[in-house]
Chain A
């Protein structure tokens, strides 16, 4: 080493104070890096437990007791595999999912996928506003007031760019799910039975059971989540060398999502199912929190449902507008002017306005739409998954980061099972089982 360089080396630690001193080495530095990379997976998981999610898990527990618990383990496996593929694709290619589908499969395929996604996501947006309406109805606020106000608020959040500031508020609000954990524990479910039914599969040849199964998968592994996660990973600019932190992030997110699902189902099975309550309104669903909150359960439930719905309602229309525009090559970005990105703002506004308008239809079944939107997710999932799989296995895109054999088995298996379930569901509904 040249003497000059050595002098400089010695100079660095003593002279470079200030901003360098803030950068710690060793464990702390690694932790900082981890916190910087962590995020997309955990955030995605929490957005995923939205109005549709809470409703679907509640209905699953209330109607079918513990008999759907076994699905959670395979769903966790599929969720991890699918989310990991998208995160990996984001890091390796540096491109969003819509971007890749357009570049590799052309305009037609992009158009049909985007059209299907737009319809499904509109249904999901309606579900989020339904969540807002249902939650505030518990407090006696009419939906004709709450929904327009929520729609305006969400629109304002993004257009005036305050979203990032409230994102953390939303994330903190996700602690609401802890209420289900506590409530589930206080309800003293038969833990032995719960454990057994977590691992022993059962199947009922009834249309409503199959529909619920599709809805459960659809809400936990929502198609739009995959687009959202991949874009978020790309946005973060995660480097291949730091990929394992993203991997942890995705895994942690998946476990959070499924753990919440499990506790909601257990809490509902131990309360609602136990006392044969048919859940028709949010008021009924709130009874699952009674072991924890007693007579305040309705207020607690309403608060949780409200923040979860509002969180998802601010993310969902925005991300939908983003990747539809990405696929078609239209200008995007909240920092653009309306004239610069008309498609983007048009789509975004249309989703919010339409989503809100549906709810304003008198006697609109709020809980019903939250549930049905998740079944739609489940139907669309295998098709999106097929394209994800075709992309992630291409060596010219992914190099040596293509899927391993085991991954392909799990993911193709998930697609096949979901297509099979959808066919069984349609058949059963047509035959009227």
Chain B
């Protein structure tokens, strides 16, 4: 079986045109000889330039002995041949310098990629790199095209590929193991262990792709990462993506941890971007000094909403509701109401219900979008609204809210205070997530 049988379709075309592929594991620790055939040491690491879409190998490190802490480094253009059992240089040993590589944008692959975790942006998963896959153009031009995250990569690293293949082929000739490398194309790989400079170069490429992921996927990636990687990835998201992803993270401990990793100003920006009820839930999990500081940093209006919401117990209707809603006075006409709706809609999550209040702010009726659109423009809303709609008091329990929403099949449920004043609404998604969470917690046994 040749290498090219293992390669996804679109890459095979490339491979046919050129000379094939090779794995990092087949190069590492190979003996390196110089132009005069003098033994220099063993190949320890390769450096690639991450600025390209498929990074070329630009430099290498040679380890002289197990105990010698200072490797020699050289430019990849000095290498004459990599296909034989030894790597041959085109220059003398003196051309190599005893120093670490320190060029911006160049990354040592063994140090930063091999055995480390990466984010597979395409599959929205955190995986561990078992091997790296290079495309070989001409004699020595190597381009990093894939990372290998499959079990075969592990076996190859152990040096057992040939034997295990032989055994598997004999026992289970059609085993999936034999045909399937799990390769991830480099353009879908977000490395986590890059230094800052290489990171920023890589990031500009990745951010676009990350933004295209569903926030729930980003949240899952964040949850899968360890503490430090989680923080660095979260910091690299733009405010809007960060806010969406943060709201999707299920574990309140991880949420507050993430917010903690940002400077207060940035954390406040993210909170402003979130729905007030989500922001309030999050702030409720933080220590009081921290949440006070964040609220102070936030935009005044947004902070006021969140503060309001924070006064309610988390397990009550008040704690579940959002203040983002459309309420109109009962003397308005349908046209005026629609105008008001148009004006408010961009900032509001749920516009399918319009609540009608009297002069004192008491809830007197509700309209749905359908009614508004079908009604005669000059009709006062008082005449077409549903009087005395179903409502809950802000102290009502979560369970009773869920019950009512379920019973009446509502998309949103208004919340009132002791005087009947409309103070917020609970959208069906918050109720559903509560029901789902309850089922989930029962499963986890919290």
Contacts and interface: CB of A to CB of B under 8 A. Distances in A.
Contact of A93 (B228, B260, B295): B228
27 contacts: A4-B300, A8-B303, A11-B307, A16-B311, A18-B319, A20-B284, A20-B288, A20-B310, A93-B228, A94-B228, A95-B228, A96-B226, A99-B226, A106-B114, A107-B115, A111-B154, A160-B443, A161-B444, A234-B226, A234-B227, A237-B253, A237-B257, A239-B260, A328-B128, A329-B117, A329-B127, A329-B129
B69 interface: no
B295 A8 contact: yes
Interface residues of B, number: 43
B263 interface: no
Interface string A1-25: 0001100110110011111100101
- Secondary structure dominating the interface of A: helix
Contacts of A107: 115, 130, 154, 157-158
Interface in A101-124: 102-103, 106-108, 111
Contact of B115 (A16, A96, A106, A239): A106
B128 A162 contact: no
A204 interface: no
A164 interface: yes
A33 to B, nearest CB: 9
Given A102-B128, A328-B128, A12 B444 contact: no
A162 B445 contact: yes
A166 interface: yes
Nearest to B287: A23
Interface of B: 114-117, 125, 127-130, 149, 154, 157-158, 226-230, 253-254, 257, 260, 284, 287-288, 291-292, 295-296, 300, 303, 307, 310-314, 318-319, 443-446
Given A16-B310, A107-B115, A237-B254, 15 more contacts: A4-B300, A9-B292, A12-B292, A15-B307, A20-B288, A20-B310, A25-B288, A93-B228, A99-B226, A102-B115, A103-B115, A106-B114, A161-B443, A328-B154, A329-B127
Contacts of B253: 237
A163 interface: yes
Contacts of B310: 16, 18-20
A163 B445 contact: yes
A54 B117 CA distance: 40
A106 B288 contact: no
Contacts of A108: 157-158
Interface of A: 4-5, 8-9, 11-12, 15-20, 23, 25, 29, 93-96, 99, 102-103, 106-108, 111, 160-166, 234, 237, 239, 328-329, 331, 335
B318 to A, nearest CB: 8
A99 B115 CA distance: 9
A331 B284 CA distance: 32
B313 A19 contact: yes
A115 to B, nearest CB: 11
Identify the interface centre among A20, A29, A108: most chain B CB within 10 Å of its CB. Answer: A20
Among all A-B residue pairs, the 6 with the closest Cβ atoms: A329-B128, A94-B227, A165-B445, A107-B157, A161-B443, A162-B445
Contact of B307 (A16, A29, A237): A16
A234 to B, nearest CB: 7
Nearest to B313: A18
Given A18-B311, A20-B288, A107-B157, A164 B128 contact: no
A15 B307 CA distance: 8
Contacts of A165: 445-446
A106 B157 contact: yes
Contacts of A93: 226, 228
B288 A95 contact: no
A329 B257 CA distance: 24
Contacts of A237: 227, 253-254, 257
Contacts of A29: 287
Nearest to A20: B288
A9 B421 CA distance: 27
B284 A19 contact: yes
Contact of B296 (A5, A19, A239, A328): A5
A178 B228 CA distance: 41
Identify the interface centre among A12, A16, A94, A96: most chain B CB within 10 Å of its CB. Answer: A16
Nearest to A166: B445
A329 B312 CA distance: 44
Nearest to B116: A103
Nearest to A325: B128
